[in-house]
Structure 1
Amino acid sequence: MPEQFPHGVRSEVGRLRTVMLHRPGNELRRLTPRNNDALLFDGLPWVDRAQVEHDAFAEALRGRGVEVLYLSELLTETLADPDAREAAIAHTMRDLRLGDTLRRYLTDLLRDQGPDELAETLMAGLRNDEVSGTGSVVAALHAPDDFLIDPLPNLLFTRDSSVWVGDRVTVTSLAMPARQRETQLTELIYQFHPRFAGTERIHGWDKEFLEGGDVLALAEGVLAVGVGERTRPAGAERLARTAFAQGLAHTVLAVPIDQDRATMHLDTICTMVDVDAMVMYPNVAHRLAATAIRPDPDGDLMVEPSAPFIEAAARAMGIDRLQLIDTGLDPVTAEREQWDDGNNTLAIEPKVAIAYERNVETNERLAAAGIDVIAIAGSELGSGRGGPRCMSCPISRDPL
């Protein structure tokens, strides 16, 4: 059995010890040309190949001594707890589209399922033609292949539904309707699974919109929070207030990003690859700015004037300069590789990062800058717009 390290993350690049992943499953097989846009996928992945690619990703992590936990296994184990089961069912049945009769029917159906089957239903969803005898007007008016419980294909991106800040786990609040149930399941794991007994949780799925892909731990006590399509200003403020009150940070940098799909999270634009080095999408590097937020002695917030992100980050981190690795790409190539998650790397330790193999030129520039790039396949994994960092939730990293 692998050594169990204390839970906690204080930087992006401390040696990674434990990570939570989600292996692609039947929830991806529920994607169709009719629903993939609503479920936030740009195409229909070849699921068998996506599983092969994800297994190679997990093996690359294990090869570096990282303990890999799977969200699906943790959820199944969590649902063995009666209180967790009731909470999961109640959350799922909050959907106002169901109506009273169908809600009662589905509640009884889910209560009769064992932990394995219930976990599968909660992740892969339930179609109208998979139930019968509901006596429900809602079910009668739905098409046979309509979903009564929507699938959750974006579970693949475990970064977004929770993020560790120090020794606390931030249960996030996801902005897009297709993803909001994910974070409820994640919270159940942290609340009820024995592995996380005693873990303090902050924020929550019912709070202001805040997503893990927007939160970067630049250094001990320094958080950068992207504010754009997913994380909203109020979510960044709420995290800052909580982090300051609990002594988890001394500076939060709020970083406005374009509100479009290509830059949905801050980690689609930049990620740390060393204690003082970052890879960044060059087409926005010159205009990315940050507003530094610090605690006021009276318990409120001090908000500083906006400054160039690289300068504000270096100042907060207490270093002379934050090295920006120049990918040296022309604007068109840069845009293509950013779309393919070239900047969405996962640091395993300082100067060692996992990246998609398809971003050849970005990876070459990283290698030239002294970064050991572990390249993995991602032709199918990337169809939901996420790279190695998006697909991983670090639970334990060594302090720097």
Structure 2
Amino acid sequence: MVANPPSPGADSEVGQLRTVVLHRPGDELRRLTPRNNDRLLFDGIPWVSRAQEEHDAFAQALRDRDVEVLYLTELLAETLGDVEARQVAVDTTLANLDLGDTMRRYLQGFLDDATPEELTGHLTAGIRNDEVRGGFGLVTKLLAFDAFLVDPLPNLLFTRDSSVWVRDRVAITSLAMPARKRETQLTELIYRHHPRFSATERILGHHFEHVEGGDVLLLAPGVIAVGVGERTTPAGAERFARQVFDTGLAETVLVVPIAQERATMHLDTVCTMVDVDKVVMYPNIAHTLTAYAVTPQPGSDPAAPDLAVAEPEPFLVAAAKAMQLDTLHQIDTGLDPVTAEREQWDDGNNTLALAPRLAVAYERNDGTNSRLEDAGIEVIRIAGSELGSGRGGPRCMSCPVARDPLG
């Protein structure tokens, strides 16, 4: 970590990136098999050593642009040095009703005896039945030898989903899929107990209605778009809007319905920002994507305002209006509808802006990258043949903690 880290906070998607949280692929990915990868939300079985090489190159590309890179597991291990945080982590993990009392008591001692680094490994890579076998009761005798008592968390790679910084506060999200529930609990633990973040004010929380960070775009200071679809629910979007209004973090939330299918699981799989007035967007849905502008109801209690919900408008129109722009410019994914569909699937839309007109993207999406460069965007190309097996690009794999403000 740097000696004098920048103050955390972000008010946009494109302000100069200063600090980011990543998760380097590890043993949790080595736990994926053809029998469990669907349940654990991976489309394929990655070649882990190659994924690590690709991720290391991604992290180095950020460092080369003076971005401080924090690693999630290092933060977690440092957090678990705190007695209270450690107890919360163990208790939360052992709350799984499938364990049974005998196995739960054994695992309590097993986890209590672990060092912070060992405990971090158990919590992220999981614990298999055969790793604790030896007469520990009915559960261990009846479960398959390779069944997981504590599931691995392969989706930790996608640090964007479990938290979002909105100005100087961090929103702890609530992940919809059971396979990812513990991710946001661990993230909340870090922000609550790690000395670097313990003084930060938090909003939302893992126990609230479902909101995932991939559905949240900070379009401009005070203007936030929230996708509602497979992962973020309407109730989650409403909760998010109320909290950012209550705390003065935003004036407008654009709620954007998106198709509930795997290829478009989050808003950032079809649209990301690459400049203050430019987005890269999947053209096959661009003209059907709509947005409901949500604002505090005039005259209601400022401490707990009612919500005014406008009639839906085309997304680009509603966004430009809320951002006070004449036009929010669209850069299409791909070069034609067929290429666009392929490159959208390969995360061509899922770019990470490091500054206005500077973005990281997967190198394989040639058509999209060419369009970005034609529009004046400098593209930092990274390899992603293995990183992309979980269906996520550079934005999904990064949680910006500090950006220079735009406003």
TM-score class normalised by the smaller sequence: over 0.9
Match of 1:229 in 2: 230
CA contact (8 A) 2:333 2:343 kept: no
Partner of 1:306: 312
Q: Which residue of 1 aligns with 2:50?
A: 49
1:124 corresponding residue in structure 2: 125
Q: Distance in 1 between matches of 2:354 and 2:310?
A: 33
C-alpha deviations, 1:19-39, integer Å up to 9, x for none?
Answer: 000000000000000000000
Q: TM-score, normalised by structure 2?
A: 0.97
Q: 1:327 to 1:127 in 2, by over 3 A?
A: closer
Q: What is the deviation of 1:332?
A: 1.5
Query: Which whole-Å CA distance do the structure 2 matches of 1:243 and 1:327 have between them?
Result: 31
Rounded to whole Å, the distance in 1 between the matches of 2:362 and 2:78 is: 31
Aligned match of 2:271:
270
Q: Which residue of 1 aligns with 2:97?
A: 96
Aligned to 2:341: 335
Which of 329, 333, 336 is equivalent to 1:323?
329
Match of 2:355 in 1: 349
The letter for the 1-side match of 2:226 is V
CA contact (8 A) 2:215 2:267 kept: yes
- Residue 189 of structure 1 is matched in structure 2 by 190
**Residue type of the partner of 1:18?**
T
Paired amino acid for 2:358:
V
Number of the residue aligned with 1:7: 8
The separation in 2 between residues aligned to 1:100 and 1:326, in whole angstroms, is: 55
**SS of 2:196 mapped into structure 1:** helix
Cα distance in 2 between the residues matched to 1:256 and 1:275: 23
**Distance across 2 between alignment mates of 1:369 and 1:309:** 21
Shift of 1:2: 5.2
Change (3 A) 1:134 1:234: farther
Supply the distance in 1 between the matched residues of 2:134 and 2:50 (Cα, whole angstroms): 37
> 1:316/1:53 Cα in 2 relative to 1: closer, same or farther (>3 Å)?
same
Asked whether the 8 Å contact 2:364–2:383 carries over to 1, the reply is yes
- Asked if the contact 1:314–1:320 (Cα under 8 Å) also holds between the matched residues in 2, the reply is yes
Render the CA deviation track for 1:281-319: whole Å, top value 9, x for unaligned: 011001000001000131200000010000000011111
Q: Which runs of 5+ in 2 are unaligned?
A: none
Distance, in Å, in 2 between the alignment partners of 1:328 and 1:132 is 52
Percent of aligned pairs with the same amino acid: 69
1:379 aligns with 385
Aligned equivalent of 1:135: 136
CA displacement, residues 68-124 of structure 1 (integer Å, 9 cap, x when unaligned): 000000000000001000000011111111111111111111011110100000000
**Is the contact between residue 99 and residue 138 of structure 1 (CA under 8 Å) also seen in structure 2?**
yes
**RMSD (Å) for aligned C-alpha atoms:** 0.8
- Determine the structure 1 residue equivalent to 2:286: 285
Aligned counterparts, 1:187-266, within 5 A: 187-266=188-267
Q: Is the 8 A contact 2:225 2:256 kept in 1?
A: yes
* Contact 1:162–1:212 under 8 Å retained in 2: yes
Q: 1-side partners of 2:61 and 2:355: how far apart? A: 13
CA distance in 1, matches of 2:394, 2:65: 15
Distance 2:364 2:173 in 1: 30
The alpha-carbon distance between structure 1 residues 308 and 355, as it changes in their structure 2 partners (threshold 3 A), is same
Residue in 1 aligned with 2:78?
77
Relative distance call for 1:134 and 1:172 in structure 2 (3 A) is farther
Say whether the 8 Å CA contact 1:105–1:134 is kept in structure 2. no
Q: Give the SS at the match of 2:134.
A: coil
- Tell me by how many angstroms 1:151 deviates: 0.1
Q: Is the 8 A contact 1:102 1:134 kept in 2?
A: no
Aligned residues of 2:230 and 2:260 also touching (Cα < 8 A): yes
User: Residues 327 and 105 of structure 1: is their aligned pair in 2 closer, same or farther, counting only changes over 3 Å?
Assistant: closer
Q: Deviations over 1:254-294 (max 9, x none)?
A: 00000011000000000000000000001100100000100
Greater shift after overlay, 33-42 or 127-136? 127-136
> Residue 219 of structure 2 contacts residue 323 of structure 2 at CA under 8 Å; is this kept in 1?
yes
Q: Deviations over 1:156-196 (max 9, x none)?
A: 00000101111110110000111010000000100000111
> Deviation digits for residues 30-80 of structure 1, max 9, x if unmatched?
000000000011100000000000000000000000000000000000000
**CA distance in structure 2 between the partners assigned to 1:336 and 1:263 by the alignment:** 13
The farther-off stretch of 101-110 and 213-222 is 101-110
Map Cα deviations across residues 298-354 of structure 1 (whole Å, 9 max, x no partner): 120000001000000001111111011134622221111000000000000000000
| Aligned counterpart, 2:167 | 166
Contact 1:229 1:259 in 2 (8 A): yes
Residue number among 390, 393, 399 corresponding to 2:396 in the alignment: 390
Count, aligned residues: 400
Q: For residues 353-364 of structure 1, what are the structure 2 equivalents within 5 Å? A: 353-364=359-370
Aligned-partner Cα distance in 2 for 1:192–1:222: 30
- Note if contact 2:9-2:403 (Cα within 8 Å) is conserved in structure 1: yes
